[in-house]
Chain A
Amino acid sequence: MLTTEEIAELYKYCERKKVLYYDIQIEIVDHMATAIEEKRKINPDMPFKQALEEVHTSFGSLGLQEIIDSKTSAMSKQYGKMRRQLFWSYFTFPKIAFTFLLVIVCITMERVLPISVLPYILIVIGGVLLSLFVHVEILQKRFRKQQSQKLLMTDPQYFDFSFIYLILIFQFGSDFIKQGVFGITNEKTVNLAHYYFCIFFFLMYTVMLLARKEMIARIAEKAKEKYPVIFV
């Protein structure tokens, strides 16, 4: 059996070889440790460093990089699937009820309120969306801060996907708001088309943010269950 110091040395070895994620390191460390133990059964006097070099050779020059690449790509596909499933769940029973409610609220506001007020409604909705975005960002950052080690399964590359859409939505929305607020055009049909166009994007973005929030919560739970030792 390897000592705690030798196991720590294997983790350092992984870092030197640019394997920085803990969830990949543990698999490599266990593989190397078992292989070293096997070598020592045959030759108990073999120095640790020599055994380590011999074991590393069996991975091949690109072996470690191949493992990182394969894990990154597998995780990307897995999360892509999860993201799509969570997004579409808002358009199937039972969550569709929530989406439907949002649509009804938006239509009712357009019917009940005078058209001159609609741009201000959009500004309020934009503010709510921005708050939701900030809330999800804080949630994600807080979760990452709880980790004492980097995990590939919680890497930001898999979650930072919604800010670019937010900018696009604000660009679409600003056109309508300028027209409505500053009275460039008073044509009702033009204004209504803009209103529903913006509402459509706002709804999509809300659903996307809620799906993202759910995804973070699910992955956080899974990560804590799998690697409890790295959570503070």
Chain B
Amino acid sequence: MEPIILSLLKDNGKMYGYQITQHVKELTKGELQITEGALYPLLHRLEEEGILDTEMESVDNRMRKYYSLTKSGKKETQKAVNELSLFLESLQLILQPKTV
């Protein structure tokens, strides 16, 4: 789930929790749904590790917390996406081996 969230933040700049869950749902056409109980602990961990930065904004009549990538978070995103791509390639090779 981590590479997905990091990629979303890389593409969209800053996002809030609910927006992330809806984006993932839309992009995967409902195939992947992130629960709130899984999303927020991950966001909090990434914030603590210095990968994400947060800022508060007043929206309508409430406060909203936005997440964005830090400098090191941007590097980490590239690394996580590369690792995921490699993993998917390996999986592809196992599931559909090339015939010689």
Contacts and interface: CB of A to CB of B under 8 A. Distances in A.
Interface stretch (A72-80, A84-92, A114-122, A159-167): A72-80
Contacts of B45: 70, 74
B36 A59 contact: yes
B61 A59 contact: no
B60 to A, nearest CB: 5
Contacts of B75: none
Contacts of B44: 67, 70-71, 74
A4 B47 CA distance: 30
Contact of A227 (B19, B36, B56, B60): B56
Interface residues of A, number: 31
Give the size category of B's interface with A. Answer: 20 to 34
Interface string A22-34: 0000110111011
Nearest to A226: B56
- Interface SS, A side: helix
Contacts, number: 79
A102 interface: no
- Interface SS, B side: helix
B65 interface: yes
B37 A30 contact: no
Contact of A30 (B35, B41, B63): B63
B62 A7 contact: yes
A27 B40 contact: yes
A4 B61 contact: yes
Interface in A118-158: none
Given A1-B60, A2-B60, A26-B65, A31 B36 contact: yes
Enumerate the 4 nearest inter-chain pairs by beta-carbon distance, A residue then B residue, closest first: A70-B41, A63-B37, A74-B48, A34-B18
Given A30-B59, A34-B16, A71-B44, 15 more contacts: A1-B60, A27-B17, A27-B65, A29-B63, A30-B18, A33-B62, A34-B18, A59-B36, A60-B36, A63-B35, A66-B40, A67-B37, A74-B45, A78-B48, A227-B63
